[in-house]
Amino acid sequence: MDKQKLADIFAQIKKFDKIIISVHKRPDGDCLGSAFGLKDIIKATWPNKEVYVLGEYVEYLSFLGKTDEIEDEVFEGSLFISVDTAGRDRIFDQRFTKSDMMIKIDHHIAVENFGDIDYVDVNRPSVTLIILDLFREFQDVLKMTSNGARALYTGTLTDTGRFKYSGVDGDTFRSVAVLYDNGLETREIYDVLDVRTDELTRFKGFFLQNFKKTKNGVAYIKILPKHIKKFKVSLEEASSLVNELGYFAECPIWILFAEYEGGIVRARMRSKGPAINELANKYEGGGHSMACGANLGTWKRTNLLIADADELAKKYKEELK
């Protein structure tokens, strides 16, 4: 934890009367949870400040809050805060240059520095926990409602794999305790996250019957547009099943490929052994050492990534002997 930078961030949030918080493209629970959690803290502490959250609509996370649509002039005289975003090209709203100041708050391995203040803590398994670092550091001033606690818990829960992933430690739970102290009720969160539609349940059956493995234990699946159409699931719902490939003892790496807007193919990569972030970097991606994303562009390039991942899995297994 960098207490000086947290103090600098606190000072700027206190200074600006207009604050715009932006998430990354195709936001997840940590992204929206940290954004709405930070907004709640600011509004609860300084009710007269204007605070906006910019990002795409995600149905299963809609209970956290509603994102805003704002005109160009709103950026004038504002503080822009980017959360959970390693590179500026991934920021949802690219009008951040119109703001007076920019702060980056992230926990991914750094791709680039783009804020006037860059706060990156790779030791935190979610950005929501960085927001809680800020809250705990200045809890004599900052306030939070139960809505903020709900958003921050949701982001922490989803990005830590329900507290199973590496990086979770005692301080993680000390931060979560603060959420309970500020009105957290978890039932609604689990009611939403534990629900699975009939369509997604059927797709899961297809998913588990059609994944493949390489010689050295890289499990992978290619989700095509026709699969999305056939089972009537969203791309985000389909991609959320990535960790279903992580239960095999002999598979240290697993990958989910999917085609996004514009026909662009991307990969979600996970590991329970070898670091995969450098491999992701090779394919215009990045992230954590055990959880990354990669941009393949075309389906043809997926075979190159699979081959490289298989070689990495081979080396890892040889090192264990």
User: Quick one: DSSP state of residue 293?
Assistant: E
pLDDT of residue 305: 96
Residues lower than pLDDT 70 in the chain: none
Residue 13's pLDDT is 98
Using CA atoms, how far apart are residues 146 and 107, in angstroms rounded to an integer? 24
Q: What is the pLDDT, as a whole number, of residue 262?
A: 84
For position 60, what pLDDT does the model report?
86
> What is this structure's pTM?
0.84
Residue 120: the pLDDT is: 94
Q: In terms of C-beta density within 10 A (0-12 exposed, 13-18 middle, 19 or more buried), how is residue 173 classed?
A: exposed
| Under 8 Å between Cβ of 56 and 32 | no
- Long-range interactions of 132-139: CB distance < 8 A, separation 24+: 132/156, 132/175, 132/178, 132/179, 133/1, 133/6, 133/175, 134/6, 134/9, 134/10, 134/41, 135/41, 135/178, 136/175, 136/178, 137/1, 137/3, 137/6, 137/7, 137/10, 138/6, 138/10, 139/178
pLDDT tens, residue by residue, 155-180: 999 989 889 887 899 999 999 999 99
What the chain holds in terms of domains, given with CATH numbers, is 3-193 (3.90.1640.10), 199-320 (3.10.310.30)
Report pLDDT digits (tens) over 49-59.
999 999 999 88
What local confidence, expressed as pLDDT, does residue 148 receive? 97
